Amino acid sequence: MKRALMAMALLIASPLAFAFNLDDLQKQLSEPAVVKGPFIQEKHLRALPQPLLSKGRFVLARDHGLLWLLQTPLPQDYRIDAQGIARRDPSGWQNLPSRSAGAEQNRLFFAVLQGDSSGLQRDFELSLSGEAGHWQLHLTPRSLLLKQIFTGIDISGGRYVERIELRETQGDSTVLRMPTSSGAATLSDAERSDFAD
């Protein structure tokens, strides 16, 4: 789950003279204060013939973090912010234990969320193709820690990120699809409360 959540965070050439570059992509993706919408997550495990499917909604707030609200098969809410990853239970938000890999992924997530290109390039080789309305970004891990987790990450989209695929070293993969995301200027009262708790 942490890998998929960190993946939300990866919101971030061409030989043409006016090429669409990484700076353009970062500016485009960081422009809205809030991006939200439904998601479909497919977890492809080598041991299973069919992917595990989950659906829900997400809220990505530039100044707050990410809400990842699973609705099926089992309702479960997660929040990623500067304090780490938390899961909601009946008594409220509970921080999940911090491990070195999780801490590294969280740091990476916020490098992307805050538009820190230098942070991303420390950890990944970045290869961007396409244009503003239809682009693909391939990430190849540089750091030893990330090389132990991922063989590569592919992100594609237009105005917003629409698809993320994480390929793991042991042969499993996760595909996140967010085909109908939309931008907003502010959070709803309920969303603001979730980030404030």
Q: Considering the chain, what percentage of its residues have pLDDT values greater than 70?
A: 80
Model confidence over 154-165: pLDDT tens digits?
Answer: 889 888 889 989
Omega cis (within 30) before 97? no
Q: How confident is the model at residue 82 (pLDDT cuts 50, 70, 90)?
A: confident
Q: What is the pLDDT of residue 44?
A: 95
Q: E-strand spans in 17-149?
A: 34-44, 52-61, 65-72, 76-81, 84-89, 92-95, 124-131, 134-141
Q: How confident is the model at residue 52 (pLDDT cuts 50, 70, 90)?
A: very high
Model confidence over 91-136: pLDDT tens digits?
Answer: 999 988 866 455 555 556 555 555 556 667 778 898 999 999 999 9
Q: What is the pLDDT of residue 140?
A: 94
Q: What is the pLDDT of residue 149?
A: 87
Q: What is the pLDDT of residue 80?
A: 85
**pLDDT (average), residues 2-13:** 50
Q: What is the pLDDT of residue 12?
A: 36
Domains and CATH numbers, the chain: 2-196 (2.50.20.10)
Q: What is the pLDDT of residue 16?
A: 37
Q: Which residue has the tokens 């980030």?
A: 195
Q: What is the pLDDT of residue 34?
A: 92
Look at 20 and 55; give whichever has higher pLDDT. 55
Asked if 181 contacts 35 with a C-beta cutoff of 8 angstroms, the reply is yes
Nearest to 6 by CA among 140, 130, 101: 101
Residue 28 has pLDDT above 50, yes or no: yes
Among 6-20, 30-44, 100-114, name the one with the lowest average pLDDT. Answer: 6-20
Q: Considering the chain, what percentage of its residues have pLDDT values greater than 90?
A: 42
pTM, 2 dp? 0.81
Virtual CA dihedral for 129, 133, 134, 135, nearest 10 degrees? 30
Q: How confident is the model at residue 182 (pLDDT cuts 50, 70, 90)?
A: very high
Q: Is 189 exposed, middle or buried (0-12, 13-18, 19+ CB in 10 A)?
A: exposed
Q: What does pLDDT average to over the chain? A: 82
- C-alpha of 118 from chain center: 17
